Amino acid sequence: MDFGKYQYQRAKREREARKARKEIEVKEVRMRPITGEHDIAFKEKQARTFLESGAKVKVRIRFRGREIGNVDIGRKQLERFAKNLADVSVVEQQPTFEGPTMLMVLAPSKK
């Protein structure tokens, strides 16, 4: 077997393997603790379409200035967000703090 043919076949196998691989997309939805009800409903609708298309959704609440004193408001907002999307998602990562932001990751449910 000649070396050029071997290289070609190896590259062909690698291309096929790359095509078969499924990349999971991660979309992000950002809010603030003072976000209004209508805006939250819009973000939930947006996240629902992301989840139904098979992407994971990262929900981020950003605290600015004195808002950091009201962490419980942000946590309640994330819990309600997860509860409203419970029919199409599973909470992959519970709400955690990363600097001035609170983060939660939702994954599509296996239905």
Helix residue ranges, H only, 1-111: 3-20, 37-52, 71-84
pLDDT per residue as tens digits for the range 11-64: 999 999 888 877 788 999 999 999 999 999 999 999 999 999 989 999 999 999
- pLDDT score of 76: 93
- pLDDT score of 110: 77
Exposure string of 12-48, with b = 16+ CB inside 10 Å and e = fewer, is eeeeeeeeeeeeeeebebebebeeeeeebeebeeebb
pLDDT interval class at 90 (50, 70, 90): very high
Domains, the chain, ranges and CATH? 24-108 (3.30.110.10)
